[in-house]
């Protein structure tokens, strides 16, 4: 059985980029993921974009909170995750398809 990995994404006003970010995580070669999107008080439609992806992929959870900065958003994600293996991605970044596998030396 493969270990599940938590990917925590801090999201704040990154509407032009967040879909590509989420897609790049969802399309990882290593699929046993828990994806936690922390909408850190976005005033654009970043949070709504996250909600759309969560409805399509049961690995994704969205937490909406007041803006407190990237560190607080990441801490919220750590508190919410169910795994010990955790990595972080910013909402305006995207990752290569083998990012998680190589990061944790899986498979």
Q: Do 37 and 21 meet the contact criterion of CB atoms below 8 Å apart?
A: no
The pLDDT confidence band at residue 3, using thresholds 50, 70 and 90, is confident
Q: What is the pLDDT of residue 1?
A: 35
Q: What is the DSSP letter of 60?
A: E
Distance CA(8)–CA(1), nearest Å, equals 22
Count CB atoms within 10 A of the CB of residue 6.
Answer: 20
For 5-104, which CATH superfamily applies? Spore Coat Polysaccharide Biosynthesis Protein SpsA; Chain A (3.90.550.10)
Domain segments of the chain: what residues?
A: 5-104
Could you tell me the pTM of the whole model?
A: 0.95
The pLDDT confidence band at residue 105, using thresholds 50, 70 and 90, is confident
When pLDDT is averaged across residues 50-62 and rounded to a whole number, the result is: 98
Q: What is the pLDDT of residue 35?
A: 98
């Amino acid at each position: 059985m493969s270990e599940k990995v938590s990917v925590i994404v801090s999201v704040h006003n990154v509407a032009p980029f967040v879909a590509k970010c989420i897609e790049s995580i969802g399309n990882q070669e290593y699929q046993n993921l828990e994806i936690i999107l922390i909408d850190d008080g976005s005033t654009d439609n970043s949070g709504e974009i996250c909600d759309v992806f969560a409805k399509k992929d049961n690995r994704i959870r969205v937490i909406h909170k007041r803006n407190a900065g990237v560190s607080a958003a990441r801490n919220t994600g750590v508190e919410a995750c169910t795994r010990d293996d955790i990595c972080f991605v910013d909402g305006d970044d995207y990752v290569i398809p083998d990012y998680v596998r190589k990061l944790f030396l899986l498979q």
